[in-house]
């Protein structure tokens, strides 16, 4: 496996298991950026913020998990794309409302871009947040 593939895989696991920035920063540049065209993440511009956002999800969705469906490496463009399904149930206190007891299984993808030192410099998340929020009972 290439260096960027190993880094992407290890970062993905740390991020998706809610390890926050402390568990992810070794794989990223200090100023790594983040973008997503998803309502809950519109104000999140730094990868550090996003990893902490993911960590916070585990406080009110402690059963959160993921299944990787595809993992693709583009050496020429120095990027890695991971497609997965995130599943969780809102059972804990926190989040946008009291626990709903409702679940979601939601498709998403990360496109991770690397610098010359094989560190992640930017992540784009592709996700239809509206459907997940509806599943969880957070919006009508």
pTM, to two decimals: 0.95
Give the span between the Cα atoms of 72 and 79, in whole angstroms. Answer: 9
Bridging pattern class, strands 28-36 and 120-127: parallel
CA distance to 7, 20, 36, 63, 115, per residue, from 90 (Å): 30, 19, 22, 9, 37
The fold of the 3-135 domain, in CATH, is: Nuclear Transport Factor 2; Chain: A, (3.10.450)
Phi–psi pair at 64, nearest 5 degrees: -55, 140
Residue-wise DSSP of 98-113: S----EEEEEEEEEEE
- Averaged over successive runs of 10 residues, the pLDDT of the chain (140 residues) comes to 89 98 98 97 98 96 97 97 98 91 97 97 97 93
pLDDT reported for residue 1: 52
């Amino acid at each position: 496996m290439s260096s960027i593939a190993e880094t992407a895989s290890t970062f993905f696991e740390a991020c998706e298991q809610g390890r926050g920035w402390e568990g992810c920063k070794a794989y990223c540049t200090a100023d790594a950026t983040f973008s997503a065209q998803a309502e809950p993440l519109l104000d999140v511009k730094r990868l550090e913020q996003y990893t902490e956002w993911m960590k916070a999800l585990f406080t009110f969705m402690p059963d959160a998990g993921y299944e990787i469906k595809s993992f693709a490496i583009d050496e020429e463009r120095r990027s890695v794309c991971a497609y997965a399904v995130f599943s969780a149930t809102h059972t804990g206190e926190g989040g946008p409302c009291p626990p709903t007891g409702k679940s979601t299984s939601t498709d998403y993808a990360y496109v991770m871009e690397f610098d010359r030192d094989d560190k992640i410099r930017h992540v784009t998340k592709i996700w239809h947040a509206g459907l997940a929020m509806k599943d969880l009972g957070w919006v009508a």
